[in-house]
């Protein structure tokens, strides 16, 4: 595996990659609160058949993290940087793996460049109202009435206890390594972390508004799609996986016995689903 950075609009984008340049690209897009290290177990499974590339979004992991007063932390802007990343690496066709925050970014890329998408894996990467768990009701209150008090209250999402709970909730005891959440907790200690992430929590409302746009892409293009979903996820509930089937005749649904970070416990299973379909 190799680790590199590339300049996109004068900001460093960190990425990890493995596999031969001669193989089709598999682009892995992480979510919150993690970064490309979430794919550390999956990449070795895919590298013999794909050129696997996993960037860290701006403000995450090892990529540049400009102060929130100097950079617009919106999903539209993060997408623009991933788009610029692909252009910098001359990638014009790819398989797409999306998780959590990676879903609105990845599906926006698919809408912009439908000819580029070879297939999609959605791991708890939601684009349907049906997939929004109960916590999103309170988020809607915040979006409609964005007070300083509510913004401050959502900073609890960055606490070590919350992050560990995101990893271990819905999983069998002892099935999730501490490596991933320990590194994520370390990243929360970086300067301005809570403010830039708070900007993204507020902006998530625009992803929900784009759900019909993403669904239209799925209906119009019928991509080969695997929904590999931790069925015990309280954030993006499993009905979001099942909803793909109403729009995409090429969608296959796999509800796995895990939580939001189901890749931590089921990377072998998810890797095999991918190889079975596209290798």
Mean per-residue pLDDT for 254-274? 98
Domain limits for position 19: 2-278
Q: What is the DSSP letter of 179?
A: H
Task: Mark whether 260 is an active-site residue.
Answer: yes
Residues in the chain: 279
CA 29 to chain centre: 5
138 pLDDT more than 90: no
The shares of helix, strand and coil residues in the chain, as percent rounded to the nearest 5, are: 50, 20, 35
Mean per-residue pLDDT for 232-254? 98
Q: Are 35 and 105 in contact (CB under 8 A)?
A: no
| Start-end of H helices in 24-101 | 42-46, 75-88
**What are 16's two structure tokens?**
């990890």
The whole-chain average pLDDT of the chain stands at 97
CATH of the domain at 196: 3.40.50.1820
**For the chain, what percent of residues have pLDDT higher than 90?**
97
277 pLDDT more than 90: yes
**pTM value > 0.85:** yes
Cis peptide before 33 (omega within 30 of 0): yes
pLDDT tens-place string over residues 14-26: 999 999 999 999 9
Please enumerate in sequence order all residues whose Cβ is within 8 A of that of 246, keeping only pairs 6 or more positions apart, or say none: none
Domain count, the chain: 1
Which of 37, 51, 260, 266 is labelled catalytic? 260
């Amino acid at each position: 595996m190799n680790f590199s950075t590339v300049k996109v609009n004068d900001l460093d984008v960190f990425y990890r990659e493995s596999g031969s340049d001669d193989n089709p690209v598999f682009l892995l897009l992480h979510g919150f609160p993690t970064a490309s290290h979430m794919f550390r177990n999956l990449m070795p499974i895919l590298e013999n058949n794909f050129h696997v590339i996993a960037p860290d979004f701006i403000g995450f992991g090892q990529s540049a993290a400009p102060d929130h007063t100097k950079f617009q932390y919106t999903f539209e802007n993060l997408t623009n940087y991933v788009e610029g990343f692909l252009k910098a690496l001359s990638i014009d066709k790819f398989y797409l793996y999306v998780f959590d925050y990676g879903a609105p970014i990845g599906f926006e890329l698919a809408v912009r460049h439908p000819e580029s998408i070879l297939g999609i894996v959605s791991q708890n990467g939601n684009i349907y109202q049906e997939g929004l768990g109960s916590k999103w009701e309170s988020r809607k209150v915040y979006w409609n009435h964005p007070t300083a008090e509510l913004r401050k209250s959502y900073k609890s999402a960055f606490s070590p206890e919350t992050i560990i709970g995101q990893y271990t909730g819905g999983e069998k005891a002892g099935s999730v390594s501490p490596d991933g959440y320990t590194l994520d907790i370390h990243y929360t200690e970086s300067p301005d972390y809570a403010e830039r992430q708070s900007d993204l929590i507020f902006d998530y409302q625009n992803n929900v508004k784009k759900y019909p746009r993403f669904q239209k892409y799925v209906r119009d293009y019928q991509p080969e799609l695997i929904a590999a979903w931790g069925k015990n996820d309280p954030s993006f509930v499993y009905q979001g996986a099942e909803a793909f089937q109403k729009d995409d005749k090429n969608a296959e649904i796999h509800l796995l016995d895990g939580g939001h970070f189901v890749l931590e416990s089921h990377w072998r299973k998810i890797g095999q689903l991918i190889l079975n379909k596209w290798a």
